[in-house]
Amino acid sequence: MVQDLINQIVEKTGVPADKAQQILGVVAGFIKEKFPMVGGQIDSVLGTSGNQAGGDTNSGGGSNFMSDIGGKMGF
């Protein structure tokens, strides 16, 4: 799921995949800072365990939270 989101960022913005992963890490960190009650869900989806840098993007995870955000952001 995370790789799909990174691929969509690449397709829609034209930025390289490594930059898209950084962007995702920044956005996730921002959301976790502003909405700490969902930090665990973000960590679960991104496989970050509290690391705001993006972490392992091949993690499975199970949450509709990132899908909901993606839908609201036009992804």
Q: What is the pTM of this model?
A: 0.58
Q: What is the residue-level pLDDT of the chain in tens, covering all 75 positions? A: 889 989 999 999 999 999 999 999 899 999 999 999 998 998 888 876 654 444 443 434 444 555 555 555 554
Residue 46: the pLDDT is: 81
Could you tell me how many residues make up the chain? 75
What pLDDT, on a 0 to 100 scale, did the predictor assign at position 60? 42
* pLDDT of res. 42: 87
> What does the chain look like in DSSP terms, one character per residue?
-HHHHHHHHHHHH---HHHHHHHHHHHHHHHHHH-GGGHHHHHHHHT-TT-TT---TT-----SHHHHHHHHTT-
Helix axes 65-72, 39-46, angle to 10 degrees: 90
